[in-house]
Amino acid sequence: MKKRDQWSSKVGFILAAAGSAVGLGNIWKFPYTVGMNGGGAFVLLYFIFLIFVGTPLMLAAITLGRKTQLSVFGAYKSIDHRWSFVGALGVICGFFILAFYSTVGGWILYYFKNTLLGTLKTTDPNILGEMFTQLMNSPKKLILYQFIFLFITMIIVLKGITNGIEKASKIMMPALFIMLIMIAIRSVTLKGSVDGIRFLFVPDFSKITMDVAMNALGQMFFSLSIGMGVMVTYGSYLNKKENILNTAIIIPVIDTAVALIAGLATIPAVFALNFEVGEGPSLMFVTLPAVFASMPMGSFFCIVFFLLVIFAALTSSISMLEIAISYFVDVKQNNRTVSTIIISIIIFILGIPASLSLGTWENVNLIGRLNFFDLYDKLTSNILLTTGGFFLCIFVGWVLKADEAVKEIESSNVTFKLAKVWSFLIKYIVPIAIFIVLINSYKDFILSIF
């Protein structure tokens, strides 16, 4: 049997894993979700959930992968075959997330091209809104740019762990940080940006409601992307000498730092130039180009912004594709190259209805009131991701056993001083927190159908 691929360095793993977590959830979703949920109060709750839910779950996922040295499906099956369905959920989740994620990736490539051509240089959100509508009603453009985005993803994954994913992450993640910090500095130095900084970091406790808490917990979960099995799969490529304890802390720290810097890059500028901070999902495609057009050197910063968003989207998309690839290579013993090409084609075909569903096919509803794009989004983000995370902590805490997981963590000659605290969190607190989100997610999914 061919020797299983491994990360060539700890830095490579951290950048790849952080790259998986850092994606559109940080650059696109975090700023507008903060804007719609009261600013600083939302950020405070996000931090609390990150410490007590996200980080323990991250450690559980990496530990499971490193212990079994298998991708997400094989990891569950090797310990208890009755739980292999959780790994299957992760593979399915990766398929459908990438199907609609590649659609959004295509939009970003299109917008990046337009920033280079200067066609986004207008301060009128109505003109930009019309531009977005025209794109949604251009099937050939949508499918072409979705294909290009998936093709780039496929080329990176084809090169394997060390020469593909790790090498690409080592380039894109530092570049992403540098570009994001550049834009954040420009944003916070605009006249009137102080109100935006205050909105982001000073909590108004009157804004804390159950809905805001649920949104903060849901955003944390979506951002870290633990539920689909990426971290289990990436952890499986770690050798037994690596200290997975500090790694599981570093990844959420990087992920959160990027989210906060993305907030600084956008929200203060929106305040300074008198745009609407609670604009919602259209913030990136309609509001922000208008914001950039309103500031000195705006064209340059708009180009930099969309380039870094491309990098963020790619570091996540390669991890999603790797979940499916690793299943067919590890479990089915298929050739990696053939598997990568076939799976990419299947995901491309699955993504075409999602690409068309906000324009040409907007009245084609697959289930209830949901079109293809919304169904893929809600089914994965609201249901499969959360369900996968819930089963992960139950599995590690009660089936693998928390004590056994601690042994794996300490096998690389580290002392886990908070082992009892982590065991308590992963067995009781984290499952309860996720179960609450799960109930809320299922409720929202059912309501969206009917």
Q: Which long-range contacts (CB under 8 A, 24 or more apart) does 430-435 make?
A: 430/52, 430/53, 430/56, 430/57, 430/393, 431/390, 431/393, 431/394, 431/397, 433/49, 433/52, 433/53, 433/217, 434/53, 434/221, 434/386, 434/389, 434/390, 434/393, 435/390
Separation between Cα atoms, residue 211 and residue 37, nearest integer Å: 9
Separation between Cα atoms, residue 169 and residue 161, nearest integer Å: 10
> What is the DSSP-derived secondary structure letter of residue 2?
P
Cross-strand pairs, 367: 370
> Other CB atoms closer than 10 Å to residue 303's CB: what's the count?
17
What is the structure's pLDDT at 277? 67
Q: What is the residue extent of each domain of the chain?
A: 10-449
First to last CA, the chain: 51
pTM: 0.88
Tokens of 436: 């609450």
Which residues in the chain come in under a pLDDT of 50? 1
Contact criterion met (CB below 8 Å) for 27 and 222: no
What is the structure's pLDDT at 1? 43
Single-letter code of the amino acid located at 144 = L
What is the structure's pLDDT at 278? 62
Distances (CA, A) of 107 to 35, 114, 143, 387: 22, 11, 10, 29
- For the segment 319-354, what is each residue's pLDDT rounded down to a tens digit? 889 888 888 887 777 788 999 999 999 999 999 999
Three-point CA angle 39, 43, 47, nearest 5° = 175
| Nearest Cα to Cα of residue 91 among 233, 237, 248, 235 | 233
- Token pair 């999914």 is found at 445
Separation between Cα atoms, residue 337 and residue 157, nearest integer Å: 9
From the number of C-beta atoms within 10 Å of its C-beta (0-12, 13-18, 19+), residue 154 rates as: buried
Which 3 state secondary structure label does DSSP give 203?
coil
Contact criterion met (CB below 8 Å) for 121 and 294: no
| Nearest Cα to Cα of residue 94 among 434, 393, 380 | 380
What is the structure's pLDDT at 281? 62
What is the structure's pLDDT at 332? 74
Q: Which long-range contacts (CB under 8 A, 24 or more apart) does 146-149 make?
A: 146/102, 146/103, 146/105, 146/106, 146/348, 146/351, 146/352, 146/355, 147/106, 147/348, 148/106, 148/109, 149/102, 149/105, 149/106, 149/108, 149/109, 149/313, 149/314, 149/317
| Nearest Cα to Cα of residue 339 among 349, 327, 351 | 327
What is the structure's pLDDT at 398? 96
- For the segment 104-129, what is each residue's pLDDT rounded down to a tens digit? 999 999 999 999 998 888 777 788 88
Separation between Cα atoms, residue 78 and residue 73, nearest integer Å: 9
Separation between Cα atoms, residue 78 and residue 72, nearest integer Å: 10
Separation between Cα atoms, residue 105 and residue 116, nearest integer Å: 17
**Contacts (Cβ under 8 Å, ≥6 apart) of 395:** 64, 76, 79, 80, 83, 86
Phi, psi of 366 (to 5 degrees): -80, -45
| Nearest Cα to Cα of residue 61 among 213, 235, 237, 206 | 235
10-449: in CATH 1.20.1740: yes
Separation between Cα atoms, residue 375 and residue 49, nearest integer Å: 27
- Token pair 């072409």 is found at 144
